[in-house]
Amino acid sequence: MRIALLSDIHGNREALEAVLADAAARDIGRCVILGDIVGYGPDPAWCVQRIQEMEAAGALVIRGNHDAAIAGSARDMNATARASIDWTRPRLSAAQTGWLAALPLTIREEDRLYTHASAHSPGDWIYVTSDRDAMASFRSSDAGVIFCGHVHVPALYSSDIHDRIQAHAERPRIPVPLLASRRWLVVAGSVGQPRDGSPQAGWAIFDTATRELSFRRTPYDTAVTAGKIQAAGLPEELALRLRSGE
């Protein structure tokens, strides 16, 4: 089965639609949403509704820190994120807010663990950006492959038979076999707000039969989303960020 891994959609309808259309052409058997459906972007309600429909059709959905902040607190966030949470809250129905708050922090499926941030105390929203962060995740789970998001930059780490951590260069499109002799940590990139220099929507595919992972990039019209952000009165930098991918 081929699993599509989508993280950090952040209310970006155009990016989500483009990724789902791309995924539909790639023989995907299941979608896993790794959190942060809302925040930053101009279409939170539409995105939540779309993901709810996908969940009804079998998708797995994880809670991210922005999703949690809707019903909870945005106190720990920076000013921009906080402003966009404040903007988002009144645009979601009570049912949607309740649904977001009730999403699980982690899901374990066979030898795979899905989580939004570090698998080490998932509710603390720790970024996995180094070998050391990856090691903390590996130590807190015995899963063969850990999938997370939160960083907005795709990355791949492995832990070998002696628990040595290696970071591996990430190359879009090329399938990498995740050997069963190691454990792996996949940071899936961001659908709705990439920060690695490419404005194209980032996501990943994992094939459970071949154990091959492919990072994907899907182009979409960033100008449309950026225009909506400006029209909505959301912070200007959020629009700029979509165009540059940084």
Partner 1 sequence: MSRSQKRPAEGLQIDGFTLGPLLHRGGFATIWEVTHPDHPGPMVMKVPTILDGDDGPTIVGFEIEQMILPRLSGPHVPRLIAAGDFAVMPYLVTAKLPGTSFQELFDRAPLPPDQLVALAIEIATALHEVHRQRVIHLDLKPGNLMRDEAGRLVLIDYGLARHLDLPDLLGEEFAIPMGTFPYIAPEQYLHHRDDPRSDIFAFGAMLYELATGRLPFGRTTTLRAVRRRLWRDPQPPRALNPDLPPWLQEIILRALEVEPEDRFQSAAQMAFDLGHPDQVQLTARATKLEQDGVWPVLRRRWRARRIRGYLPAPTQEDTARAQVVMAAVDLSPEMEALSQEILSATREILHFRPEARLACVNVLRSARIQLDQGTDEAGNNLHVARLVALKAWGEALGLPEGRVTYTVLEAPDPGNALTEHATRILAGHIVMGARASSALRRYLGSVSAQVVAEAPCTVTIVRLPAPGI
Residues that bind partner 1 (CB under 8 A): 156, 158, 160-162, 164, 166, 168-169, 171, 174, 176-177, 179-183
State how far the Cα of 196 lies from the Cα of 208, in Å rounded to an integer.
27
Pick 79 or 169: Cβ nearer partner 1: 169
Pick 89 or 182: Cβ nearer partner 1: 182
Q: Least CB distance from residue 135 to partner 1, whole Å?
A: 14
Pick 174 or 223: Cβ nearer partner 1: 174
Pick 53 or 131: Cβ nearer partner 1: 131
Q: Least CB distance from residue 116 to partner 1, whole Å?
A: 24
Q: Least CB distance from residue 113 to partner 1, whole Å?
A: 15
Q: Least CB distance from residue 242 to partner 1, whole Å?
A: 29
